[in-house]
Chain A
Amino acid sequence: EAGVAQSPRYKIIEKRQSVAFWCNPISGHATLYWYQQILGQGPKLLIQFQNNGVVDDSQLPKDRFSAERLKGVDSTLKIQPAKLEDSAVYLCASSLIQGNSPLHFGNGTRLTVT
Protein backbone atom coordinates (compact mmCIF):
# COMPACT_ATOMS: atom_id res chain seq x y z
CA GLU A 1 0.00 0.00 0.00
CA ALA A 2 1.13 3.55 -0.62
CA GLY A 3 2.34 5.31 2.49
CA VAL A 4 1.44 8.69 3.96
CA ALA A 5 2.50 11.44 1.58
CA GLN A 6 3.67 14.83 2.84
CA SER A 7 4.98 17.91 1.12
CA PRO A 8 7.17 19.85 1.10
CA ARG A 9 10.09 17.97 2.73
CA TYR A 10 11.87 21.18 3.71
CA LYS A 11 10.81 24.80 4.06
CA ILE A 12 12.71 27.90 5.14
CA ILE A 13 10.76 31.10 5.79
CA GLU A 14 11.23 34.34 7.65
CA LYS A 15 9.31 35.11 10.83
CA ARG A 16 5.89 36.64 10.24
CA GLN A 17 5.56 34.87 6.89
CA SER A 18 2.96 32.18 6.32
CA VAL A 19 3.47 28.54 5.33
CA ALA A 20 1.28 25.55 4.49
CA PHE A 21 1.92 21.83 4.66
CA TRP A 22 0.00 19.12 2.84
CA CYS A 23 -0.72 15.52 3.80
CA ASN A 24 -2.39 12.63 1.99
CA PRO A 25 -3.04 9.68 4.34
CA ILE A 26 -3.18 6.00 3.52
CA SER A 27 -6.35 5.17 1.62
CA GLY A 28 -9.14 4.09 3.94
CA HIS A 29 -7.60 5.54 7.09
CA ALA A 30 -10.28 7.55 8.86
CA THR A 31 -8.04 9.11 11.48
CA LEU A 32 -5.43 11.74 10.58
CA TYR A 33 -2.97 13.43 12.93
CA TRP A 34 -0.60 16.38 12.76
CA TYR A 35 2.36 16.28 15.17
CA GLN A 36 5.02 18.89 15.88
CA GLN A 37 8.47 17.69 16.88
CA ILE A 38 10.84 20.35 18.22
CA LEU A 39 14.50 19.35 18.36
CA GLY A 40 15.26 17.39 21.52
CA GLN A 41 11.62 16.73 22.38
CA GLY A 42 9.11 14.03 21.54
CA PRO A 43 6.43 14.67 18.93
CA LYS A 44 3.46 16.65 20.26
CA LEU A 45 -0.07 16.25 18.90
CA LEU A 46 -1.39 19.43 17.29
CA ILE A 47 -4.68 18.16 15.88
CA GLN A 48 -6.51 14.89 15.28
CA PHE A 49 -9.24 14.39 12.68
CA GLN A 50 -11.76 11.57 12.46
CA ASN A 51 -12.92 11.70 8.83
CA ASN A 52 -13.47 15.44 8.34
CA GLY A 53 -14.31 16.24 11.97
CA VAL A 54 -11.88 17.49 14.63
CA VAL A 55 -11.46 15.09 17.57
CA ASP A 56 -8.72 16.90 19.50
CA ASP A 57 -7.13 20.29 18.85
CA SER A 58 -6.44 21.23 22.45
CA GLN A 59 -2.71 21.80 21.82
CA LEU A 60 -3.07 23.69 18.55
CA PRO A 61 -2.06 27.38 18.92
CA LYS A 62 -5.22 28.61 17.27
CA ASP A 63 -4.11 32.24 17.03
CA ARG A 64 -1.61 31.26 14.34
CA PHE A 65 -2.17 27.62 13.37
CA SER A 66 -5.09 26.24 11.38
CA ALA A 67 -5.80 22.86 9.84
CA GLU A 68 -8.51 21.41 7.67
CA ARG A 69 -9.54 18.08 6.18
CA LEU A 70 -12.47 19.17 4.08
CA LYS A 71 -13.34 15.96 2.22
CA GLY A 72 -12.14 13.59 4.91
CA VAL A 73 -9.08 12.57 2.90
CA ASP A 74 -6.10 14.89 2.53
CA SER A 75 -5.31 17.68 4.95
CA THR A 76 -3.46 20.99 5.11
CA LEU A 77 -1.81 22.62 8.12
CA LYS A 78 -1.13 26.37 7.97
CA ILE A 79 0.92 28.70 10.12
CA GLN A 80 0.27 32.43 9.82
CA PRO A 81 2.27 34.33 10.95
CA ALA A 82 5.23 32.10 11.77
CA LYS A 83 7.42 32.63 14.82
CA LEU A 84 10.99 31.50 15.45
CA GLU A 85 9.75 28.87 17.93
CA ASP A 86 7.72 27.19 15.18
CA SER A 87 10.94 25.74 13.75
CA ALA A 88 10.32 22.00 13.98
CA VAL A 89 9.52 18.86 12.05
CA TYR A 90 5.82 18.60 11.25
CA LEU A 91 4.68 15.00 10.98
CA CYS A 92 1.44 13.79 9.51
CA ALA A 93 0.15 10.34 10.45
CA SER A 94 -2.92 8.24 9.78
CA SER A 95 -4.52 5.16 11.31
CA LEU A 96 -7.47 2.91 10.63
CA ILE A 97 -9.14 3.73 13.94
CA GLN A 98 -7.97 5.61 16.99
CA GLY A 99 -6.66 3.88 20.07
CA ASN A 100 -5.14 0.47 19.37
CA SER A 101 -4.21 0.97 15.73
CA PRO A 102 -0.57 1.86 15.05
CA LEU A 103 0.09 5.20 13.41
CA HIS A 104 1.58 5.35 9.92
CA PHE A 105 3.75 8.44 9.56
CA GLY A 106 4.84 10.47 6.57
CA ASN A 107 8.43 11.63 6.15
CA GLY A 108 7.65 14.97 7.73
CA THR A 109 8.31 18.59 6.78
CA ARG A 110 11.31 20.26 8.37
CA LEU A 111 10.44 23.93 8.88
CA THR A 112 13.08 26.53 9.66
CA VAL A 113 11.91 30.01 10.63
CA THR A 114 14.62 32.68 10.48
Chain B
Amino acid sequence: ILNVEQSPQSLHVQEGDSTNFTCSFPSSNFYALHWYRWETAKSPEALFVMTLNGDEKKKGRISATLNTKEGYSYLYIKGSQPEDSATYLCAPTYGGSQGNLIFGKGTKLSVKP
Protein backbone atom coordinates (compact mmCIF):
# COMPACT_ATOMS: atom_id res chain seq x y z
CA ILE B 1 0.00 0.00 0.00
CA LEU B 2 1.48 3.32 -1.10
CA ASN B 3 1.59 5.97 1.62
CA VAL B 4 1.08 9.62 0.69
CA GLU B 5 1.70 12.04 3.54
CA GLN B 6 0.51 15.63 3.65
CA SER B 7 1.53 18.12 6.29
CA PRO B 8 0.37 19.96 8.16
CA GLN B 9 -3.04 18.38 8.64
CA SER B 10 -4.59 21.81 9.19
CA LEU B 11 -3.45 25.39 9.12
CA HIS B 12 -4.95 28.66 10.35
CA VAL B 13 -3.49 31.87 8.95
CA GLN B 14 -4.40 35.53 8.76
CA GLU B 15 -5.34 37.23 5.52
CA GLY B 16 -2.18 38.36 3.77
CA ASP B 17 0.05 35.64 5.23
CA SER B 18 2.00 33.41 2.88
CA THR B 19 1.91 29.71 3.56
CA ASN B 20 3.13 26.39 2.24
CA PHE B 21 2.22 22.72 2.49
CA THR B 22 4.15 19.51 1.90
CA CYS B 23 3.23 16.34 0.06
CA SER B 24 5.54 13.30 0.48
CA PHE B 25 5.19 10.19 -1.62
CA PRO B 26 7.12 7.07 -2.67
CA SER B 27 9.45 8.01 -5.53
CA SER B 28 9.83 4.57 -7.12
CA ASN B 29 8.05 4.23 -10.48
CA PHE B 30 6.61 7.76 -10.16
CA TYR B 31 4.56 9.06 -13.12
CA ALA B 32 2.77 12.32 -12.21
CA LEU B 33 1.72 14.44 -9.23
CA HIS B 34 -1.70 16.11 -9.04
CA TRP B 35 -2.78 18.96 -6.72
CA TYR B 36 -6.47 19.71 -6.08
CA ARG B 37 -8.34 22.30 -4.06
CA TRP B 38 -11.59 21.22 -2.42
CA GLU B 39 -13.84 23.91 -1.00
CA THR B 40 -16.68 22.94 1.30
CA ALA B 41 -19.90 22.04 -0.56
CA LYS B 42 -18.12 22.21 -3.92
CA SER B 43 -16.31 19.71 -6.13
CA PRO B 44 -12.52 19.23 -6.04
CA GLU B 45 -10.81 21.52 -8.55
CA ALA B 46 -7.55 20.68 -10.30
CA LEU B 47 -4.67 23.07 -9.61
CA PHE B 48 -1.64 21.41 -11.18
CA VAL B 49 -0.45 18.20 -12.81
CA MET B 50 3.33 17.88 -12.66
CA THR B 51 5.62 15.23 -14.07
CA LEU B 52 9.21 16.47 -14.35
CA ASN B 53 11.78 16.59 -11.55
CA GLY B 54 12.44 20.23 -10.66
CA ASP B 55 9.22 21.36 -12.32
CA GLU B 56 7.60 24.50 -10.98
CA LYS B 57 4.07 25.62 -11.85
CA LYS B 58 2.18 28.78 -11.01
CA LYS B 59 -1.48 29.81 -11.09
CA GLY B 60 -2.10 33.29 -9.77
CA ARG B 61 -0.88 33.41 -6.16
CA ILE B 62 -0.47 29.63 -5.95
CA SER B 63 2.65 27.79 -7.04
CA ALA B 64 4.03 24.28 -6.68
CA THR B 65 7.38 22.56 -6.98
CA LEU B 66 8.22 18.91 -7.52
CA ASN B 67 11.15 16.69 -6.51
CA THR B 68 10.63 13.25 -8.01
CA LYS B 69 13.95 11.81 -6.84
CA GLU B 70 13.24 12.30 -3.14
CA GLY B 71 9.46 12.12 -3.48
CA TYR B 72 8.02 15.43 -2.35
CA SER B 73 6.13 18.46 -3.60
CA TYR B 74 5.52 21.85 -2.03
CA LEU B 75 2.45 24.03 -2.58
CA TYR B 76 2.85 27.75 -1.84
CA ILE B 77 0.16 30.37 -1.44
CA LYS B 78 1.34 33.97 -1.47
CA GLY B 79 -0.77 36.56 0.37
CA SER B 80 -3.55 34.21 1.49
CA GLN B 81 -7.14 35.40 1.04
CA PRO B 82 -10.31 34.11 2.77
CA GLU B 83 -11.39 32.55 -0.53
CA ASP B 84 -8.28 30.33 -0.37
CA SER B 85 -9.87 28.49 2.57
CA ALA B 86 -10.20 24.89 1.42
CA THR B 87 -8.67 21.44 1.73
CA TYR B 88 -5.67 20.96 -0.54
CA LEU B 89 -5.13 17.40 -1.76
CA CYS B 90 -2.13 15.93 -3.49
CA ALA B 91 -2.16 12.66 -5.41
CA PRO B 92 0.75 10.93 -7.16
CA THR B 93 0.28 8.35 -9.88
CA TYR B 94 2.65 5.57 -10.85
CA GLY B 95 3.69 3.74 -13.99
CA GLY B 96 1.48 0.82 -14.88
CA SER B 97 -1.50 2.39 -13.11
CA GLN B 98 -1.35 5.94 -14.39
CA GLY B 99 -5.01 6.69 -13.86
CA ASN B 100 -5.03 5.60 -10.22
CA LEU B 101 -4.47 8.76 -8.18
CA ILE B 102 -3.32 7.92 -4.65
CA PHE B 103 -4.70 10.78 -2.57
CA GLY B 104 -3.25 12.04 0.69
CA LYS B 105 -5.57 13.08 3.53
CA GLY B 106 -5.16 16.73 2.60
CA THR B 107 -4.21 19.96 4.34
CA LYS B 108 -7.15 22.03 5.54
CA LEU B 109 -6.42 25.75 5.25
CA SER B 110 -8.47 28.40 7.04
CA VAL B 111 -7.75 32.05 6.24
CA LYS B 112 -9.15 34.61 8.68
CA PRO B 113 -10.01 38.08 7.38
> Chain A: residues with CB nearer than 8 A to chain B?
3-4, 31, 33, 35, 40-45, 48, 50, 55-56, 91, 93, 95, 98-108
How far in angstroms is the closest Cβ of chain B from A104? 7
The chain B residue sitting closest to A101, CB to CB, is B49
> Which residues of B approach A to under 8 Å, CB–CB?
4, 31-32, 34, 36, 41-46, 49, 51, 89, 91, 93, 97-106
Residue among A33, A44, A105 facing the most chain B CB atoms (10 A cut-off):
A105
CA distance A56 to B43 in the complex (A): 23
CB distance from B51 to the nearest CB of A (A): 6
Cross-interface CB contact of A105 among B4, B43, B100, B105, cutoff 8 Å: B43
What is the CB-to-nearest-CB distance from B50 to chain A, in angstroms, rounded to a whole number?
A: 9
Most buried by B among A48, A102, A104: A102
Q: Which A residues are in CB contact (< 8 Å) with B34?
A: 102-103
Tell me if B's interface is mostly helix, strand, loop or mixed: loop
Query: Known: A31-B99, A48-B100. Contact between A42 and B46, CB under 8 A?
Result: no
- The answer to whether A42 and B91 touch across the interface, beta carbons within 8 angstroms, is yes
Among A3, A40, A41, A99, contact of B93 (Cβ-Cβ < 8 Å): A99
State whether A42 and B99 are in contact (beta carbons under 8 Å apart), knowing that A99-B32, A103-B34, A105-B43 are contacts in the complex: no
Q: For A31, A50, A107, which residue has the most chain B Cβ atoms within 10 angstroms?
A: A107
B41, B42, B45, B97: the one within 8 Å of A56 (CB): B97
A4-B43, A105-B44 in contact; A99/B100 too (CB < 8 A)?
A: no
- Inter-chain CA distance A103–B48, complex, in Å, is 10
Interface centre among B91, B102, B103 (most CB of A within 10 A): B103
A48 to B4, CA, bound (A): 20
Closest B residue to A43 by beta carbon equals B103
New contact pairs (8) apart from A43-B44, A98-B99, A104-B46, CB-CB < 8 Å: A43-B89, A43-B103, A44-B103, A55-B99, A56-B97, A99-B93, A101-B49, A108-B43
